[in-house]
Chains A and B, each alone.
Chain A
Amino acid sequence: DGGITQSPKYLFRKEGQNVTLSCEQNLNHDAMYWYRQDPGQGLRLIYYSQIVNDFQKGDIAEGYSVSREKKESFPLTVTSAQKNPTAFYLCASKREVSNQPQHFGDGTRLSIL
């Protein structure tokens, strides 16, 4: 079955540590997205990528970094510069044809130790 796989489901970060969240899709989608979800604030866009080797900052990119070396993979690194990283992180993808919907993975919950 095609879908978006996020791993791990739960992740704990120590102070000063960088952590990387994985997002893999086998839907052959061109565009991929990372969102952060906090209670009562909906989802906010961190980064997005429309093609391999290219990505754009979203609304809350500070303290995060991404790469897009392969079409099916879009890992997100939460750096030590992100002072409030505790949140639910969601990866999404869609076909580049503009009117196609975004499909979401089941998220990674990141907490601070």
Chain B
Amino acid sequence: QQQVKQSPQSLIVQKGGISIINCAYENTAFDYFPWYQQFPGKGPALLIAIRPDVSEKKEGRFTISFNKSAKQFSLHIMDSQPGDSATYFCAASRLYNQGGKLIFGQGTELSVKP
């Protein structure tokens, strides 16, 4: 019940295309869903996050879509650029429980071809 399942494991997209990464969770008590971006040899950096009371959040080229009934959320990267090539992690947590610890998906390695 604590798992977050992420797909696909790897993704290749042409420059200018849309990258879509999906995550699913089981625990309906989760109330915070962040996405992190990680470059090789670096720590993850927060990209965008959403709470379950909204269905979509957009920041620049990055959009989170959230489907509470299906217990799924996804990251859309519009106009993908070679600089977006990185590993992306979804995560979930209960903000008011267990120190807000994050449960991470397995990660998606994105490669944007020029």
Q: Are B43 and A56 in contact (CB under 8 A)?
A: no
Residue of B nearest to A31 (CB): B99
A42 touches B43 (CB 8 A): no
B17 beta carbon closer than 8 Å to chain A: no
Q: Range of interface residues on chain B? A: 20 to 34
User: In the complex, how many angstroms separate the beta carbon of A59 from the nearest chain B beta carbon?
Assistant: 8
Q: Which listed residue, A33, A42, A90, touches B105 by the CB 8 Å rule?
A: A42
Total A-B residue contacts, Cβ distance less than 8 Å: 63
Residues of B within 8 A of A102 (CB): 46, 100, 102
- Bound: A33/B98 CA distance, A: 11
* A and B contact pairs by CB, cutoff 8 A, 23 listed: A6-B43, A31-B100, A33-B101, A40-B106, A42-B107, A43-B102, A43-B104, A48-B99, A48-B101, A50-B99, A56-B98, A90-B44, A98-B100, A99-B51, A99-B95, A101-B34, A101-B46, A104-B36, A104-B44, A105-B43, A106-B41, A107-B41, A107-B43
